[in-house]
Structure 1
Amino acid sequence: MDIFDEMKERGHEQIIFNYDEETDLKMIIAIHDTTLGPALGGCRMKNYESQEEALDDVMRLSKGMTYKCGVAEVDFGGAKAIIWGDPEEDKSKAMMRAVGRFVETLDNRFYTGTDVGTYSEDFIYSNCESDHIVGLPESYGGGGNSAIITAYGTYRAIKATAKEAFGDDSLEGLTISVQGLGKVGYRLLDHLHDEGAELIGTDVKEEYIERAKEEYPIEIVDPDEIFGVECDIFSPNALGAILDDETIPQLKCKAIAGAANNQLAEPRHGDKLHELDIVYAPDYIANAGGLMQVADEVIGYNEERVKQQATNIYDILLEIYEVSNKKNIPTYQAADEMVENDIETISRLKTNYVEK
């Protein structure tokens, strides 16, 4: 991979490689676009197969954050951090302190917090070293578990998607298959069950499956089978890049809406869903609730304000679907165009000098 060619193609401003010998921290921070403000994005920990895989993931995720910030109408740009390591074996308090110190070197350019493989409690230690940590527990001045509001926003996205696909936003009687029963997927089940949806689920972790079975009437299938189950709406809430040449032909649903990041392996897979008349909720809109919460922490967290912002995901998606239908373009393209136009407009406004 030629890093500079990749940065030019994907629109990145900065890639920072960080290493701490004492804790064996291997961390990459990717800052995509700061037109809207300082960059904001979670810190993921995963045992990647290679440096190339880690770099590709952080670049994909950080670009998604630019679009997510744009659609959420928060004054932040897009970024992401990844820690290369096993979150169950390699993570330590000292390592998370090292994370905080590296974040602080960027001097108000980057804010970060929890993501896949990390938890709000981990960042208590990062917060000791940096003033640019978000997603902290309430007892430390944060908004608490961002998975809760993310799940609520995803639920609102599913309702909007049901309205587009079936003409009614009620989920009663609909069969919804949920891939991933962890942080967000588990909490999403509560909203879906309360509305009377029939639930099918899967996860790679047995403890998540058992927890879901204990609390909800849910049919469990093997992870590889989830794509081909008969359902009305498929909700991906695990890792990304799961909609590809192999999985799309298996789908037996009318719509897709979930919280996983970067669900399309490539943009052309969004084109394929459009051709198949499968309504697709762009993931960075469906999962924007968590971003709304952590962005609000920077200005002074207000739970009611964030709940209203997440509620509005419903209306944002209906607008996207309207544009998609009017122009006969895939929903991901309609969403991207809307965000890009907004960023371009704000960029022009910022040419006017304002003394601070």
Structure 2
Amino acid sequence: MEKYDYEQLVICQDKESGLKAIIAIHDTTLGPALGGTRMWTYASEGAAIEDALRLAKGMTYKNAAAGLNLGGGKTVIIGDPKKDKNEAMFRAFGRYIQGLNGRYITAEDVGTTVEDMDIIHEETNYVAGISPAFGSSGNPSPVTAYGVYKGIKASAKEVFGTDILAGKKVAIQGVGSVAYTLCEYLHDEGAQLIVTDINEEAVQRAVDAFGARAVGLDEIYSVDCDIYAPCALGATLNDQTIPKLNAKIVAGAANNQLELDKHGDLLHQKGILYAPDFVINAGGVINIADELNGYNRERAMKHVDKIYDNLETVFAISKRDNIPTYIAAERMAEERIASLRNSRSTFLQNEHHVISRR
């Protein structure tokens, strides 16, 4: 926590419901920490804590880069989302969130649903992404997909000189809810889709709906394509996969796509443009964050459109300073956080001088 400047780690358990959860709050400089609740079958409690910390830091950068007045946090619940969920578990978790008194706001993530958020909402108002019946935005996946689509267009403009995707080959790893909607946007523009997924039904659905070409799980890295879109779990850009890539662009919806920072360096060295994940996939959190001001769909989507501009800024910094795009994106986020810290520090110093003179 000290090394990466985390603010708070909360370990939660409720024996009767089976709740074992970790809430990690990384940074609240820009505002309350916002980040989803993930439910997963972790190998150990240590692995769950590490994942919560890693994801919380990612949310700090995502929210800052998206221009949101929110900090970064994340929750992981240890358990099988298909077998271990129950109402008492999420209500107990909601009480833990309420106890943080607004320092952390949650939403859905891998393994949790809008319905789960509705249960949490029974105990606290510090939850977003609940059912539209409550005046909320509902499932953020379609908006995440739209943001990724806009990010792919910005990346295409950088590499090909035009953001028109007609005729471009896009290899999509994972065809879950976000990626399926992304496929719709890409197909409507005339892109040629290549897909893979551990779920054969999801693959077949994309083949039937969009005329996509299905390939094996390992084959997706080496297919001849213009754009590789990782939309499954993280760390798929690593020592084994990057040498196989035939794409000119990596731009997708998955979180934590780089296994290690050095893999962002490797993509840069190979001349493959990488759209940093926490910039391109921020559509969902932008949409959810709009709820905090009374949800307005049109306003939220206009903010999501800015992902295109944010990536253009990242690419410009990368070229200007000759640094990999992941470093450029982190620098953009860190500078925004630092500017607010500095302004607060100056304000407090001025206040201290005024009080001293009194």
> In which range does the TM-score fall when normalised by the shorter chain?
over 0.9
| Secondary structure of the structure 2 residue equivalent to 1:340 | helix
Aligned to 2:296: 302
Aligned to 1:37: 31
TM normalised by structure 2 equals: 0.95
Give CA deviations for 1:6-25 in whole Å, capped at 9, x if unaligned: x1222211111111101111
Instruction: Using the TM superposition, give the Cα deviation of residue 96 of structure 1 relative to its aligned residue in structure 2, in angstroms.
Output: 1.6
Whole-angstrom CA distance in 2 between matches of 1:16 and 1:295: 23
Give CA deviations for 1:184-209 in whole Å, capped at 9, x if unaligned: 11110010001100001111123322
Aligned to 2:10: 16
Instruction: Using the TM superposition, give the Cα deviation of residue 222 of structure 1 relative to its aligned residue in structure 2, in angstroms.
Output: 2.0
The alignment status of 1:201 with 2:188, answered yes or no, reads no
Structure 2: give runs of 5+ residues left out of the alignment.
352-358
The alignment status of 1:191 with 2:194, answered yes or no, reads no
Whole-angstrom CA distance in 2 between matches of 1:121 and 1:213: 30
Match of 1:212 among 199, 206, 209: 206
The alignment status of 1:338 with 2:338, answered yes or no, reads no
Aligned to 2:354: none
For residues 269-284 of structure 1, the aligned pairs below 5 Å read: 269-284=263-278
For residues 1-356 of structure 1, the aligned pairs below 5 Å read: 7-351=1-345, 352=347
Instruction: Using the TM superposition, give the Cα deviation of residue 162 of structure 1 relative to its aligned residue in structure 2, in angstroms.
Output: 0.7
Aligned to 1:3: none
Instruction: Using the TM superposition, give the Cα deviation of residue 219 of structure 1 relative to its aligned residue in structure 2, in angstroms.
Output: 1.0
Give CA deviations for 1:261-302 in whole Å, capped at 9, x if unaligned: 111111111000000000000000101111111111111111
Whole-angstrom CA distance in 1 between matches of 2:145 and 2:92: 30
Whole-angstrom CA distance in 2 between matches of 1:116 and 1:162: 29
Whole-angstrom CA distance in 2 between matches of 1:20 and 1:230: 50
| Secondary structure of the structure 1 residue equivalent to 2:83 | coil
Instruction: Using the TM superposition, give the Cα deviation of residue 51 of structure 1 relative to its aligned residue in structure 2, in angstroms.
Output: 2.1
* Amino acid in structure 2 at the alignment position of 1:102: Y
* Amino acid in structure 2 at the alignment position of 1:319: T
Q: CA RMSD in A?
A: 1.4
* Amino acid in structure 1 at the alignment position of 2:66: A
Give CA deviations for 1:196-249 in whole Å, capped at 9, x if unaligned: 000011111233223223321111122222112111100111111111111111
Aligned to 1:4: none
Q: Which runs of 4+ in 1 moved over 3 A?
A: none
* Amino acid in structure 1 at the alignment position of 2:65: V
* Amino acid in structure 2 at the alignment position of 1:325: K
> Given that residues 66 and 310 in structure 2 are in contact (C-alpha distance below 8 angstroms), is that contact kept between their aligned partners in structure 1?
no
* Amino acid in structure 1 at the alignment position of 2:238: D
Whole-angstrom CA distance in 2 between matches of 1:342 and 1:130: 30
TM normalised by structure 1 equals: 0.95
Whole-angstrom CA distance in 2 between matches of 1:157 and 1:253: 16
Give CA deviations for 1:307-346 in whole Å, capped at 9, x if unaligned: 0111111111011111111111000001111111111001
